[in-house]
Structure formats: structure tokens, C-alpha cells
Amino acid sequence: MEPKEWKLKALTNIWTGDNKGKGDRLVPTGLMGSLRWWFEVLVRGLGGKACDPTAENVRCPNKDKEPHKAGHHCVVCVLRP
């Protein structure tokens, strides 16, 4: 799979907050988590499937499939860097 680069432009201030509730800097993990959450909403809203790390039977990667085969990861997990 070819790497993809996405450029995003924030239309409003981005607040990712740290463990003390201060948002004085951008926290990349918080930003990626938010993007993933909204991508899951979009995928599920359109009838697609996304893994659920809290449920035992719907986690990625699918151990029954080889890493290079389709279905090894859900479409949302492809977003992970």
C-alpha cells in the first residue's frame, strides 16, 4: 500500500488538551484519536464495518488472515500512521 499524505485546514481552534486539562499545545495523539473517532462514525454511518478494541471478537488485526490479504485490518485501522 502506498503511503498517503493528507493536508487538513482547521476552520476553528483545535483544542486537544493534556492530562491537566490545558490546551496550550497541539497533542498529536489526541488529534489522531479524534480523527479516528470521526472516521469510525462516518464508516459505520455509511454501513461499513470498523473494529472495536473493547470487544474480543471484532478487533484488528484479523488473525485468520495474512497481513497482505484484504480484511486483515478494517478500513479505519488503515488510517493509523
Q: What is the 3-state secondary structure (H, E, C) of 1-46?
A: CCCCCCCCCCCCCCCCCCCCCCCCCCCHHHHHHHHHHHHHHHHHHC
Query: How many whole angstroms separate alpha carbon 60 and alpha carbon 54?
Result: 11
pLDDT category at 1 given cuts 50, 70, 90 is: low
What average pLDDT is seen over the chain? 78
Is the per-residue pLDDT at 19 higher than 90?
Answer: no
Q: Is the pTM of this model over 0.75?
A: no
Grid cell in block for residue 45: 454511518
- The stretch 21-29 carries a mean pLDDT of 75
- The stretch 25-54 carries a mean pLDDT of 84
